[in-house]
Structure 1
Amino acid sequence: MERQHQRKGWKSKGAAAFAALLVIAGCGAGGNGGSGNEGGAAASPSATAQPLKEIKVVLDWTPNTNHTGLYVAAAQGMWEKRGLDVEIVQPPESGADQMVASGAAEFGVGTQEGLTLAREQDIPLVSLAAVIQHNTSGFASPADKNITEPKDFEGYTYGGWGSPAEEAVIGSMMKEQGADVGKVNIVNMGMADFFTAVQKDIDFAWIFYAWTGIEAEQRGIPINMVYLSDFNEQLDYYTPVLETSEKMIAEQPDVVRAFVEGASEGYEYAIEHPAEAADILLEAVPDLNAELVKESQEWLAGKYQDDAPRWGEQKREVWSGYAEFLREHDLLKKELDIDAMFTNEFLPE
C-alpha cells in the first residue's frame, strides 16, 4: 500500500507505464475485453446454473489490505453467486491501467491520479468505486528529522519515483506555508524500501500510512506523517479505485454490475469483520506479514467507507478538484469530461 511497497503510485509507474498507455491509445482500447455478455445472465444469481463468466481483475501492486475486499469476494462466493469466476492477478511492470485499457483484464485497481492522466491521452478508463473514501497517503520521515509540516521539507532530500506530479504536490503544500520547493532535493529512489532508503540518502518519502506507517510502529521506528489532505483539499482524491473501460460498460454492463456488487459485498464484510477479513487475505497470500495485515486491516476498516453514504461512492467535486490541481500546475493540458471519468451507477443501493 505504500509508495515504495505499492510503487505504482501515480499508477504511476513512471514514464514507462504512460508510454505503454500511449501506444494503446494509438491502436484503440478494444482488446479482448468485449467478448460478449453470454445472454446478459451473468449478473443474476439464477445464472449459477450456467457456466460462470471468467474475468480478471488486476491489482496495482502486490496483495495488501487495499485489496482485502476482493479476496473476500472471491473466497466467499460473492462473485460466483452473481455468475462470475473472477481471477485476481498481479500487474505487469507497466501497471494495471495498461491491462484494463487493452482488454487484457476486464477490471483493475487504479488511482484517480493515473486514470486522470490516462483520460488526457484519450484512454477511456472509468472508475467504478473508491476503495478508500479519503486519501490516506502522506510524506513520512524518521521522527528525529523533525519534519512535521510542509515548510520543514526545505533543505531535505525527497525520494520519489520520477513523476512530475510529485514536485507539484510537494510544492503546493509548501507554498501554503510560504516555503520554497526549490530548496528540496528531489531524487528518484525507484523501488527502494522506505526503511532502507531513509537510513541512507533520503529524508522523506510518500507512503500510505495503513501499510508502511503501521509497519514502522511494529518495528518500533518513530516516524512523522505529513498528510496531503491536511494541507490541500484538492489532494484528498481517491486512491485506490476499481476501474474498467468504457467498452466493458457499453458492451457488458451486467458483468460490470455483478463485479461491482460482489466487490462491494466483500469490502462491506471487511468493514464489519476486519479480523476475519485479514485471515481470508492471509489464507490467499500466506507470505504476507500476518501481524502487519491484521493491524492494517483493523486500521483500514473505518477508512474504506468513512463518511460516505455507502462503500465506493464517488463525488464529482473530488474528480474535478484534482483535475483542476493538475491544470494549475501545467500537468493537464486540456479540459476533461469529468462525468465520463467515474460512475456510481453500478454500486448497490
Structure 2
Amino acid sequence: MSKKTLRSTLVAAAAASALLLTSCAGAGAGGDGPTAEGEEGGMTDVTIMLNWYPYGEHAPFYYGVEQGIFEEHGINLTIQAGQGSTKTVQATGQDQVDFGWADTPAVMSNIDKGVGVQSVGVFLQTTPSAVQVFADSGITTPEDLVGATIATSAGDAPTTTFPMYLEAAGIDPADVTQQNLDAAGKMAAMMNGQVDGLIGFAHDQGPTIANESGRDVIYLKYSEVGLNFFSNGLIASNSMISDNPELVQAMVDATSESFEAAKADPEAAVAAMDGKDPQMPVAEVLLEQWTETIILLDSPTSGEVVPGTNSTEDWEATISVLAEAGLIEGENSVDTYFNADFAPAGGAE
C-alpha cells in the first residue's frame, strides 16, 4: 500500500474494504497466526473491537491500515465498533474478537470477576478523566466547583474516582452535587444548562460539545492535581496469548507503529477515518480528539515513551488508585492484569 503522498481512489476503496465494520468474530482467534513480520502463513484476518463508536482516539488504527503498517506485520485488520469497555472486554475474553481496545479500569475489574483477558499494552497512560465545563461558566479552577452540579455516570472510573479528585484538590466532595445520567444524557444536560458541567474523558465529549454548542469547553483534569491511572489500551484473551503469541506480538508492534505514525501526521491520520462509520464525529472534532489523545500517550513517570510501553511502577500506581476507589479488589499483582512479554519493538521498561 502506498504512503501518504498517494491517495488514489483505489487505495481509499481498499482501506474502506479492510475496515468494514462487522459483527462476526475475527478469523484469527485461535488460528494459525503470522510471525512478528508476517513472513509465514501469509496474511491473517484479525478483528479488533473498539471501546466505543469510532472517535479521534482511534485514528491510528485507520491510519495504520491505510499506510500498510498492519499489512507489513501480516495482519488484515478489521475494526469493529464497541458499546463500552466492559462489553469489549467480555467479547475479547470469549474469543468473539481477536483483540480489544478498552479502558484499563474496566479491564482490571472484569479480570477480578474471572474474565480471561490480559492487557498487552496500555497506550493512554495519563488518564483523560476531567471535569468539563463551558469556558464562560465561571468555573476555571477546582475551587469553583463548590456549590456546582456535575453530571456523572455511576460505576465508571471517572465518576468513581471523582471524590478522590476533589480531595486531592482540597475540596470536600459533599460540597459538589452529582447528578447521575448516561453518556448522552450528560452531554445534553450540560448543553441545556441543567448542570454546570460533566465528568468524562477530556479527549472525547468536550470537543463534541464545543462543536455542537458553539461554545468553548475547558477541562479540569484529574492529572493536574496528581491523580492518575491508566486508560485505554490493547487486550487479548488468555487463549490468544498462550496459543498465538506471535500474532499478539505482531499486533502490539503494528499498533505501536501506527500510533507513532499518527502522532507525526495528525491531519492525515484523521483523514484516514473519513467515511468509515456514519456515527463518527466531523473531521474538525476528530482532529481535536486525536490531538488531545496524543498528550495522554506519555508515561506519568517516564515521560515520552514508545506507544504501548508500560512500566511496573505505573501499573502499581494504577492498582493503588483503583483499589482505593473500590473499582478493583487490590489484592492482585501487576502480572494478573498485564502481560509484559509483548513490549513493542523499540520500547523497554
**Residue 227 of structure 1, CA deviation:** 0.4
Match of 1:73 in 2: 64
CA contact (8 A) 2:27 2:45 kept: no
Q: Equivalents in 1 of 2:331, 2:196: separation in Å?
A: 36
Match of 2:196 in 1: 203
Match of 2:53 in 1: 62
More deviation in 81-90 or 54-63? 81-90
Structure 1 residue matching 2:234: 3-state secondary structure: strand
Q: Does 1:348 align with 2:345?
A: yes
Aligned with residue 39 of structure 2, among 36, 46, 66: 46
CA contact (8 A) 1:57 1:106 kept: yes
More deviation in 243-252 or 137-146? 137-146
Q: 1:291 to 1:309 in 2, by over 3 A?
A: closer
Match of 1:222 in 2: 216
CA contact (8 A) 1:112 1:238 kept: yes
Aligned with residue 309 of structure 2, among 287, 310, 313: 313
Q: 1:251 to 1:123 in 2, by over 3 A?
A: same
**Residue 61 of structure 1, CA deviation:** 0.6
Structure 1 residue matching 2:240: 3-state secondary structure: helix
**Residue 147 of structure 1, CA deviation:** 2.7
Structure 2 residue matching 1:282: 3-state secondary structure: coil
Q: Does 1:174 align with 2:166?
A: yes
CA contact (8 A) 2:129 2:201 kept: yes
Match of 2:255 in 1: 263
Q: Equivalents in 1 of 2:156, 2:82: separation in Å?
A: 23
Q: Equivalents in 1 of 2:158, 2:265: separation in Å?
A: 35
Q: Does 1:232 align with 2:223?
A: no
Aligned with residue 297 of structure 2, among 280, 293, 304: 304
Structure 2 residue matching 1:145: 3-state secondary structure: coil
Aligned with residue 80 of structure 2, among 80, 84, 89: 89
Structure 2 residue matching 1:284: 3-state secondary structure: coil
Match of 1:14 in 2: none
**Residue 260 of structure 1, CA deviation:** 1.2
Structure 2 unmatched ranges of 5 or more: 1-24
Structure (1 or 2) with the greater helix fraction: 1
Aligned runs of 1:237-256 on 2, under 5 Å? 237-256=229-248
Match of 1:322 in 2: 318
Q: Equivalents in 2 of 1:192, 1:57: separation in Å?
A: 24
Q: 1:256 to 1:180 in 2, by over 3 A?
A: same
Q: Does 1:212 align with 2:205?
A: yes
Q: Equivalents in 1 of 2:257, 2:183: separation in Å?
A: 33
CA contact (8 A) 2:34 2:42 kept: no
Structure 1 unmatched ranges of 5 or more: 1-30
Aligned runs of 1:118-157 on 2, under 5 Å? 118-157=110-149
CA contact (8 A) 1:313 1:344 kept: no
CA contact (8 A) 1:154 1:183 kept: yes
CA contact (8 A) 2:297 2:304 kept: no
Match of 1:110 in 2: 102
Q: 1:221 to 1:35 in 2, by over 3 A?
A: closer
CA contact (8 A) 1:128 1:260 kept: yes
1:62 alignment partner AA: Y
CA contact (8 A) 2:118 2:237 kept: yes
Structure 1 residue matching 2:198: 3-state secondary structure: strand
1:253 alignment partner AA: P
Structure 2 residue matching 1:260: 3-state secondary structure: helix
Q: How many residues align?
A: 314
Structure 2 residue matching 1:250: 3-state secondary structure: helix
More deviation in 120-129 or 281-290? 281-290
2:225 alignment partner AA: F
Q: 1:188 to 1:344 in 2, by over 3 A?
A: same
CA contact (8 A) 1:159 1:202 kept: yes
1:88 alignment partner AA: I
Q: What's the CA shift string for 1:149-207, capped at 9, x where partnerless?
A: 33433322221221175554221122234432223322221132555211242222123
**Residue 258 of structure 1, CA deviation:** 1.2
1:264 alignment partner AA: S
2:102 alignment partner AA: G
Q: Equivalents in 2 of 1:145, 1:105: separation in Å?
A: 43
